[in-house]
Structure 1
Amino acid sequence: MSDPRRQVPRTDTLLADPQLAAAGERLGLGLVKDVVQRVQQRIRDGEVSPPHAVDAVLAALPSTASSLRPVLNATGVLVHTNLGRSPLSAAAVEAVVAASGTTDVELDLATGRRGPRGEAAIAALLAAVPAAEAAIVVNNCAAALALVATVLGQGRELVLARGELVEIGDGFRIPDLLVSTGARLHEVGTTNRVTLADYRGALGPETGAVLKVHPSNFVVRGFTREVDVADLAGALDGTGTPLVADIGSGLLQPHPRLPEEPDAQGTLAAGADLVLASGDKLLGGPQAGLVLGRAELVQRLRRHPLYRALRVDKTTLAALEATLRGPLAPVQEMLAADVDGLRVRARRLAAHLAAQGVDAAAVDAEARVGGGGAPEHPLPSAAVSLPASFAEPLRRGAPPVVGYLDGDRTLLNLRSLLPSADDDLAAAVLAVAAQ
């Protein structure tokens, strides 16, 4: 009997196939070669017949050279950190593609001289938040906080309430970040109560700034007290001590669906000197840290050497500008979705699936903002209910669908999906049902 290894097609023979050669030009030769070698092993193991080697390689190749896979977010969490937070709008995606080549990111084409970096994105940000005199953009909100703490607090004291010494996920703690910059923390109040007198008593010649951090993912109820931005700003008036508010969620203007969520415009109008926020949460843009407020303070941050290490690239600037100037971002559409419309979608999808023999039903559900925003403010929603056995194969499907288990059912919550995804969602469920 001949050695079965002789039947395995040679690597160079497979790579020379026109279809695989084209894939190599698109994805990279190394990636295609790795898949070829895996298919060759499958041939040795008897899982693939030699004549079908090319087809097996093509089937195993990813759609892009990145390992990241598009996922249908049916969790009902609009800003899901594990799923990349906010999906970009079509306008933002087009802007990223346009900016991916050679651009005029720091060149004034009229004069041929160096121009200001990200000028258009900053102008769009200031137009969206008129209370801000100036703004800069860094790579995330933690970077914004680190920059502020370095410039205003290094070797000095940052005053903040004990109830705002928060951990925001994956072990990341705000006080650890602040101390790492060289700032000293002056904690005031108790876990559940802080007064204006506590803040006043902490002020002194060593005070670099007063910091307010909006709680993320939790709410303290009961015997509590806090000092709002307007009262703090009044107490600090004339002292020369900056008031910095980290609002986190990226809400630039008040939103009727989230009446208790702080926004950048309102916080600055109430008297904050600087506001910090995320670009990839409720704003619906790319990962970015936004710093808005008094021009003199923003300029101090921009001049510090650390800013250079934290600034964003051309694609982020392009996506941010397009998000601010373009149509509603997907997360904003999801937030604004009418619950009756969600129910109509759920009934339509469930009826279509049931007609194909799937045990599906439309049910009411609750959604969440996510990303630390509005933790006690559920959003009414609708979902498609499936047997619990669908959850895992849906996650492993193409495209993957991430829902959640509720008792003995898998729920696919529609508030975190735009209507344009309904056909893909139905197809993914039917593919699992056919297995």
Structure 2
Amino acid sequence: MQKILRLIPSVDECLLAVLQDPEFETIPAMLLKKGIRAVLDQQRQKVLQGHDITTDDLELSVLLTSIKETIRALHQPVFRRVVNGTGVIIHTNLGRSVLPSDTLNQLCETSGNYSNLEFDLATGARGSRYSLVEKLVCELTGAEAALVVNNNAAAVLIALETLARQKEVIVSRGQLVEIGGSFRIPDVMARSGAKLVEVGATNRTHLKDYLNAITPETGLLLKVHTSNYRIIGFSKEVNNEELVSLGKKHQLPVMEDLGSGCLVDLSPYGLKKEPTVQEVVASGMDVITFSGDKLLGGPQAGIILGSKNFIEKIKRNPMNRAMRIDKFTLSVLESILRLYRDPQTVFERVPTLHMISTPITLVHNKAEQLAKVLHKSLKDCCTVQVAEVMSQVGGGAMPEQDLESRAVVLQPLTMTLNRLEQKLRALEIPIIGRAENNRLLLDMRTIRSDELHLIDKGLRQALAAEP
């Protein structure tokens, strides 16, 4: 055993050999040595554990392949781009909304240089970062005032803490949703210091339920739009106008958490009609909150808008500083909102809206184009066909609603489906699809035309014969 251990090359020997390859010249020496030690330690443990290790296995030329692969893996960014072939447009695990190229250019311009983040160019005095997007939000929605915080959960939390701390908040039992990651409306409310008062039944709530629950301790009437689940059948909820009227009668603010707020009507593209932010503002709601990175198609943010007197109170809350957005989010959000000024082009320019609205004929043509390429390059190791599938909007928005789509369906012949998925995830630009009936589906609604060559290259690499 000692004789075999002495055959393991030294770290310095391996380092000299690795540096012969120009690919590794710019990688820090610390990282090179870390990768080398990892491989050498692995071989040393195999010897000590009695594995059948030959002298050939410990040759530097043999170990070099594993060493280089390990260094490449260590050198790769942990947070990096992937190809989304799942068909879920707003995929929470894959970064939600994709940003337009114009927005990325604006982000580089403002964030790669000094900016007027909190500087008023008109007066030369200190300015407010919130003013950079507030006018634009109000222009697009019709609201009197607006504020942006770092996500919608924060928006709900600070609004409740400001308007109803140590007061009762009345909400329909059927609207006590779980937002995601076990994050629930009752939990947010408890953290805000507000007291939850549930009314109605799970499936039916009437105006009289709210009326009968109002007491001198009531501070707010809350409506939560159930954007991530649906109650069907024998159900009823109170509409906005009725709730607003009740609030005015009892001098109580009325708030709605829209969740996935949208500024455009998506029903012409085969989806059920959802209330737009503008429609909710017009209904008279005092405070409205929604996400920036879902149907809006922008960055992670929580947008709060509504009556000026309530929004100003929320702005003055000391919690606001802990929840404020940075210059990167501001830059991206302004750029996205500016695109909504032109309803004729916004569906082309905002990727989330573009994927939702792309006609099935174009999705089908893209699938046929990729299938033709893959037929030629993968004919000996994988079957390829085009199939009719359904895509989803995702992001907790529009449940039970699907979009017609097409997928390139792959069935590997030289390895298991699990092994293929594993190898696709290990690529420099990972390819993520969905597995069904021992086949890999790549849904073309969420794959851009300029990504087809990445899929061809990645599949050829993943399906290459293994030693």
TM (normalized to structure 1)? 0.90
> Shift in Å at residue 146 of structure 1?
0.4
Q: Who is 2:139 aligned against?
A: 127
> Shift in Å at residue 270 of structure 1?
1.4
Q: Who is 1:9 aligned against?
A: 12
User: Which of 376, 379, 403 in structure 2 is aligned with 1:379?
Assistant: 403
Alignment pair present for 1:210 and 2:221 = yes
Q: Who is 2:424 aligned against?
A: 394
Name which of structure 1's ranges 61-70 and 11-20 shifts more when overlaid on structure 2.
11-20
Amino acid at match of 1:22: T
1:35-74 aligned at under 5 Å gives the runs 35-39=35-39, 41=41, 46=57, 49=60, 56-57=67-68, 60-61=71-72, 66-74=77-85
1:166-245 aligned at under 5 Å gives the runs 166-245=177-256
The separation in 2 between residues aligned to 1:32 and 1:324, in whole angstroms, is 45
The separation in 2 between residues aligned to 1:255 and 1:269, in whole angstroms, is 18
The separation in 2 between residues aligned to 1:40 and 1:104, in whole angstroms, is 52
Q: Which runs of 5+ in 1 are unaligned?
A: none
**8 A Cα contact 1:280 1:286, kept in partner:** yes
**8 A Cα contact 1:20 1:54, kept in partner:** no
**8 A Cα contact 2:200 2:209, kept in partner:** yes
The separation in 2 between residues aligned to 1:150 and 1:73, in whole angstroms, is 38
User: Which of 368, 377, 386 in structure 2 is aligned with 1:362?
Assistant: 386
* Structure 1 residues 225 and 252: alpha-carbon distance in aligned structure 2, compared to 1, 3 A threshold: same
The separation in 1 between residues aligned to 2:442 and 2:453, in whole angstroms, is 13
Find the residue that maps to 1:230 and give its secondary structure: helix
1:101-112 aligned at under 5 Å gives the runs 101=112, 102-109=114-121, 111-112=123-124
Name which of structure 1's ranges 395-404 and 187-196 shifts more when overlaid on structure 2.
395-404
Amino acid at match of 2:436: D
Amino acid at match of 1:395: R
Name which of structure 1's ranges 208-217 and 152-161 shifts more when overlaid on structure 2.
208-217
**8 A Cα contact 2:15 2:32, kept in partner:** no
> Shift in Å at residue 32 of structure 1?
5.3
Name which of structure 1's ranges 422-431 and 361-370 shifts more when overlaid on structure 2.
422-431
> Shift in Å at residue 312 of structure 1?
0.8
Q: How many residues align?
A: 430
User: Which of 258, 272, 284 in structure 1 is aligned with 2:297?
Assistant: 284
> Shift in Å at residue 63 of structure 1?
9.5
* Structure 1 residues 427 and 85: alpha-carbon distance in aligned structure 2, compared to 1, 3 A threshold: same
Amino acid at match of 1:23: I
Find the residue that maps to 1:284 and give its secondary structure: coil
The separation in 2 between residues aligned to 1:386 and 1:312, in whole angstroms, is 43
> Shift in Å at residue 37 of structure 1?
3.6
1:85-164 aligned at under 5 Å gives the runs 85-101=96-112, 102-109=114-121, 111-129=123-141, 131-164=142-175
> Shift in Å at residue 21 of structure 1?
5.7
1:303-318 aligned at under 5 Å gives the runs 303-318=316-331
The separation in 1 between residues aligned to 2:376 and 2:14, in whole angstroms, is 47
Q: Who is 1:331 aligned against?
A: 352
Q: Who is 2:273 aligned against?
A: 260
**8 A Cα contact 1:152 1:209, kept in partner:** yes
The separation in 2 between residues aligned to 1:276 and 1:96, in whole angstroms, is 25
Query: What are the Cα deviations for residues 287-319 of structure 1, in whole angstroms up to 9, with x where unaligned?
Result: 111111111111110100011111111111111
Amino acid at match of 1:127: E
* Structure 1 residues 158 and 47: alpha-carbon distance in aligned structure 2, compared to 1, 3 A threshold: farther
Q: Who is 2:34 aligned against?
A: 34
> Shift in Å at residue 348 of structure 1?
1.4
Find the residue that maps to 1:210 and give its secondary structure: strand
Alignment pair present for 1:348 and 2:365 = no
Q: Who is 2:455 aligned against?
A: 425
The separation in 2 between residues aligned to 1:163 and 1:276, in whole angstroms, is 19
User: Which of 263, 274, 279 in structure 1 is aligned with 2:287?
Assistant: 274
* Structure 1 residues 22 and 370: alpha-carbon distance in aligned structure 2, compared to 1, 3 A threshold: same
The separation in 2 between residues aligned to 1:430 and 1:409, in whole angstroms, is 17
Task: Specify the structure having the higher radius of gyration (Cα).
Answer: 2
The separation in 1 between residues aligned to 2:15 and 2:461, in whole angstroms, is 35
Q: Which runs of 5+ in 2 are unaligned?
A: 47-56, 340-345
The separation in 2 between residues aligned to 1:12 and 1:105, in whole angstroms, is 47
Name which of structure 1's ranges 46-55 and 160-169 shifts more when overlaid on structure 2.
46-55
The separation in 1 between residues aligned to 2:278 and 2:272, in whole angstroms, is 14
Find the residue that maps to 2:153 and give its secondary structure: helix
The separation in 2 between residues aligned to 1:73 and 1:149, in whole angstroms, is 36
The separation in 1 between residues aligned to 2:323 and 2:266, in whole angstroms, is 30
The separation in 1 between residues aligned to 2:23 and 2:148, in whole angstroms, is 43
* Structure 1 residues 54 and 309: alpha-carbon distance in aligned structure 2, compared to 1, 3 A threshold: same
The separation in 1 between residues aligned to 2:190 and 2:12, in whole angstroms, is 60
**8 A Cα contact 2:299 2:333, kept in partner:** yes
Query: What are the Cα deviations for residues 233-267 of structure 1, in whole angstroms up to 9, with x where unaligned?
Result: 12223432111111111312322233432321111
The separation in 2 between residues aligned to 1:213 and 1:310, in whole angstroms, is 21
The separation in 1 between residues aligned to 2:335 and 2:74, in whole angstroms, is 26
The separation in 1 between residues aligned to 2:72 and 2:426, in whole angstroms, is 16
* Structure 1 residues 63 and 72: alpha-carbon distance in aligned structure 2, compared to 1, 3 A threshold: farther
The separation in 1 between residues aligned to 2:116 and 2:35, in whole angstroms, is 39
* Structure 1 residues 95 and 63: alpha-carbon distance in aligned structure 2, compared to 1, 3 A threshold: farther
Q: CA RMSD in A?
A: 2.8
Amino acid at match of 2:98: P
Find the residue that maps to 2:219 and give its secondary structure: strand
Percent of aligned pairs sharing the same letter = 35
Q: Who is 2:54 aligned against?
A: none
Query: What are the Cα deviations for residues 190-241 of structure 1, in whole angstroms up to 9, with x where unaligned?
Result: 1111001111222232221111111143211121111111221122234321
**8 A Cα contact 2:27 2:75, kept in partner:** no
